[in-house]
Amino acid sequence: METRNIMIVGVGGQGTLLASKLLGYLLCGEGFDVKVSEVHGMSQRGGSVVTYVRWGDCVASPIIDEGEADFVVSFEKLEAARWAPRLREGGLIIVNDRETDPMPVITGAAEYPHGVLDSLRERGVRVDAVDALTLACQAGSAKAVNLVLLGRLSRSFPDIPVEKWMDAIGACVKPRFVDMNKAAFTLGRESGGAEL
Amino acid sequence: MKQLMLGNEAVARGLYEAGCRLVSGYPGTPSTEITETVANYPEVYCEWAPNEKVALEAAFGASLAGARAACTMKHVGLNVAADPLFTLSYTGVNGGLVICVADDPGMHSSQNEQDSRHYAIAAKVPMLEPADAAESRDFAMRAFALSEQFDTPVILRMCTRISHSQSLVETGAREETPLRPYVKNPQKYIMAPANAIRRHPVVEARTRALTAFAETCDLNRLEMPGERAKLGIICSGTCYQYVREVFGNSQSQENSVGILKLGLVNPLPETLIRDFAARVDRLVVIEELDPVIETHVRAMGLAVEGKNLFPLEGEFSQNTVRKAFGLPLPPSVAAEPSIPVRPPVMCAGCPHRGMFYVLSRHKVTVIGDIGCYTLGMAQPLQAVDSVLCMGASVSGIHGFNKVGGKETEGKTVAVIGDSTFMHSGMTGLVNISYNASNSTVIILDNSITGMTGHQQNPSTGYNIHGDPATKVDLEVFCHAIGIQRVRVVDPYDLAACEQVLSEELAFEGPSVIISRRPCVLLKYVKPKMPVVIDRESCRGCKKCMKLGCPAIHMEGGRAAVDDTLCVGCGVCSQLCAFGAIREPSGGEQ
C-alpha cells in the first residue's frame, strides 16, 4: 500500500502527542509500517505544534510535505489554515471549531482572520468543522478534544472497526481516564455533521 | 516483536542491550529522551550531570574503570564537552565509550545550527549516523564494539527528525559485558606532552585503520538498480529517507538512481566512493547543514554536486529533493496570505513573567541566557537584550560593566535559570566576585530545568529518578564565593521585585537576586482558581495586556480571562489600577 498521511496540528499543550501516540499504536496493530514524527522542546510552549503520522507497506520520510497529507486534524482554526497547504488534492481537514488567539493577536500586533475555514472551502478544500470542545466537556473534560477529533477522523477509516480504536484508547490512556476518553471518541464519531 | 520507538528511545535501548553500565547527560532538545529512557533501565547507572563536560568526563571515568559508558547532549553541548573529547581521542578507552549528540537542523529549539560532523573530523574519532529508530538501536550497539575494537571514543550523531521520529524497532535482550580490568598505564592515560607526543601517531594510524574498515563494513551500503545508474546520490541519516521517498519507485532505465548510504560518516570510505562515482553518470551529495561529505569527495578529485543544488540552512524534506532535481511537486492549496505567527510564549502563571515585567519597566539592559526565560525577549515584554549560550549572561554582564563603567552599572542585569546557573553560570559568578564586578545577577529559580520538559538538576534536591538528592543551596553558594549581597524574592510579588531590584541596582558591588518560585507546570504546584474580571470596573486600559499572559485577552474593549489557562497567579491583578481583576476567595482548584 502506498504511504498515507495524517497531520495533527494545534497549539502546544493541547494534547496532540496523545493523538499521534494512539494513531501509531492503532496502525501498528493493523500490521503497517509506521512513522510518527513529533516536535518537542521550545515549540511546545504555547506555540504552533505539528505531528506527522505516516503508514503504509514501507514508509521512508518521517515528515509530510506540501500536497501530501490525506488528513489534517487541527485542534484550532488558525492552525488548520496554516497547515492547509500540506493537504493533498481531495484531502480532508478535520478541525475543532475554536479560535485560540496567538500572542501577536493578544498584543494587538495582528488580527485573527476569522473567516479562514470559509476561505478554505471556497477554494475547494474539504473541511469538517466540529465543536470538539463542547463535546469533550460533555464527555467529562475539556482536555478530551483530541479524542473527539480522533472519533471524527475514525469515520474516514471504514476498514478499521470501532473496537480497534477502543483497544488503542485502552492501551494509550491512563486507566482512570479511559472511560471518559472513550466517551469523547464516541461523541466525535457519532455527532452530526456534513456528509463528506 | 517490533514496537514503535522514538529514535532517542531506540538509542537508549541500544545502549542498554549493549551492556552499558553508566550514562551521564545534560538535557537538551532534541537529545533529552535518550537519558530519560535509560533512567528506566535499573541495570544502567544513569544521571543528569551539571553540564556536558562533566557528563563526558564521568563517562570517561567509567570507561577507564573498564565499563561500557555513554554520555548524551545536544549539538551545542558538544562545544562544552569538546575539551575532554579532543584528548580522549588520544587516550582512547578501556571499556567502550559512546558520545550521543543530537543536531537540530532548522533550529526547532536551538540557538545555532552547527554541524557536529566537524567535531568528529577535528577530534579524529569515528562517527555513526542512523537513519531511523531501528538503526538508532543498532548503531548504539555497534558504536560500543567499534569503540573497543579501535580503542577510541565513538560519536553517535542524531538529528531532530531521527531523535523525535518513532519507527519500528526489533529489540533484544541485554548482554552483560564484564568490566575490563583496569591496568595502570601512564603512557596511555596521562596526556602530558611526553606521552601525548607518542599517542598522536597512534591516533593517525587508527584513522587509517578505520578508513580501511569503512571501505567494507556493512554500516555503509550501496543500493544500485543495476551495474550503472544515471544519478548517484551519497547521503546519510534523515536525508537517506527523503531520497528514498522521492526515488524509491522510479527505477527505470532512463532515470535510474543509485544510492551510497553512509552509516559511518567519519572517516569516509574513499575507495567505495570512487567505485560508486565510476558507476554513475552524475554524482550528488545530499546532506543537511555543511558540505562535509561533498568537500571531501571534491578533494578526492571527483566531479560532485551538492550545495549548488541544496541549501546550507535548515531542515530538508522530500520536496527539497524534488525541487533540487526539478521534479514536479505534489499540487497543494496556496497558503492564506495573512496568518499571524504563533510563537512559543511563557505559560500562564509562569514565575518568570513578573520579574520580566519589572525589568521591562526599569528599562534595564538584560543580558539573557538559555532556557524558558529566553522568551522574555518576546512581545510585549521585550525585556531581553542578548542571548548567546549557556552561562553567557553571568560572564557577559561582567565584561559589559567593566568597560561600561558608570554608563552601564546599575542599569544592567544578567538573568539565568537555576539549571543553567548550575551548568555554567557558577564559574561566571566566581569571576564577578573575584574580579570585583559592579554587577547584579538574577537567578530565576523555578526549581526545575523547564524548557526541555522538566529535568531535575543539582539545585532541585532530586535526582533523575525523582529520589531525594543533595540540594545545592544557592544562597550559601553565593556567599561562599564571596557575594555579600544575596536577596530572595517572590516573582509573583511585583512590589517586592521592584524594591529589591532598585536596591540591588543602586548597590555598588556584586549582588545576586534569587527570583524563586517553582515552575507552574510542576505536578506539585497546585493552580489556584482563575482570577475574576469585573467588567464594570474594567476601563479597557490594557495595562494587564502588557504582561503578555496567554490567559488574558480583550473582548469588546474589556479584559477577559481564559479560565482554562489562568492559574490564578494574581500578577495581573497587581497591575490593575481600577481593582477590576480580583483573586476569587477560595483556595486551590
- Please name each of the domains of chain B with its CATH number: 2-216 (3.40.50.970), 221-324 (3.40.50.920), 351-516 (3.40.50.970), 532-582 (3.30.70.20)
CB contact under 8 A, A85 and B335: yes
Name which of B546, B582, B586, B579 is nearest B561 in CA terms.
B582
Of A39, A42, A85, the CB nearest to B332: A85
Residue range B123-177, pLDDT digits in tens: 999 999 999 999 999 999 999 999 999 999 999 999 999 999 999 999 999 999 9
> For residue B134, what is the nearest residue in chain A, using CA coordinates?
A35
Question: What confidence score (pLDDT) does residue A156 get?
Answer: 96
ipTM score: 0.95
What are the residue ranges in chain B where pLDDT is below 70? Answer: 249-254, 585-589
Q: B-chain residues within 8 Å CB-CB of A13?
A: 347
List phi, psi (to 5°) of B384: -105, 140
Residue range A4-99+115-189, CATH number: 3.40.920.10
- The C-alpha atoms of residue B566 and residue B569 are separated, in whole angstroms, by 8
- With b for 16 or more beta-carbon neighbours within 10 A and e for fewer, the B380-412 pattern comes to bbebbebbebbbbbbbbbbebbeeeeeebbbeb
Domain positions in chain A:
4-99+115-189
B557 interfacial to chain A (CB closer than 8 Å): no
Q: Which residues on chain A are in Cβ contact (under 8 Å) with B288?
A: none
Residue A125 three-state SS: coil
pLDDT of residue B502: 98
| B positions 108-147 inside 8 Å of A (CB) | 108-109, 132
Contact B281, B304 (CB under 8 A): no
Q: Suggest the residue from B160, B261, B339 to mutate for an interface test with chain A (most A CBs closer than 10 A).
A: B339
The number of C-beta contacts closer than 8 angstroms across A and B is 191
A171 touches B at CB < 8 Å? no
Q: Does A120 touch chain B (CB under 8 A)?
A: yes
Q: What is the mean pLDDT of residues A22-36?
A: 96
Question: How far is the C-alpha of B576 from the C-alpha of B579, rounded, in Å?
Answer: 6
| pLDDT value, residue B255 | 76
Are B317 and A65 an interchain contact pair (Cβ–Cβ within 8 Å)? yes
Cell 496556496 -> residue: B334
B351-409 tens-digit pLDDT: 999 999 999 999 999 999 999 999 999 999 999 999 999 999 999 999 999 999 999 99
Q: How far is A16 from chain B (nearest CA, A)?
A: 14
State the smallest CA–CA distance between residue A158 and chain B in angstroms: 24
Contact indicator for B542, B554 with CB cutoff of 8 Å? yes
pLDDT recorded at residue B249: 65
Chain B contact for A79, CB < 8 A? yes
Q: Chain A contact for B519, CB < 8 A? A: no
Residue whose C-alpha cell reads 537567578 in the numeric block: B443
- Put simply, the answer to whether A40 touches B553 (Cβ < 8 Å) is no
Closest Cα in chain B to A81: B336
Per-residue pLDDT at A161: 97
Task: Provide the residue type at B50 as one letter.
Answer: P
Q: Which chain B residues are within 8 Å of A102, Cβ to Cβ?
A: 340-343
**Cell 548597590 sits at which residue?**
B507
Q: How far apart are CA A44 and CA B451, in angstroms?
A: 9
Q: Give the minimum alpha-carbon distance from A192 to chain B in angstroms, rounded to a whole number.
A: 26
For the segment A91-112, the average pLDDT, to the nearest whole number, is 93
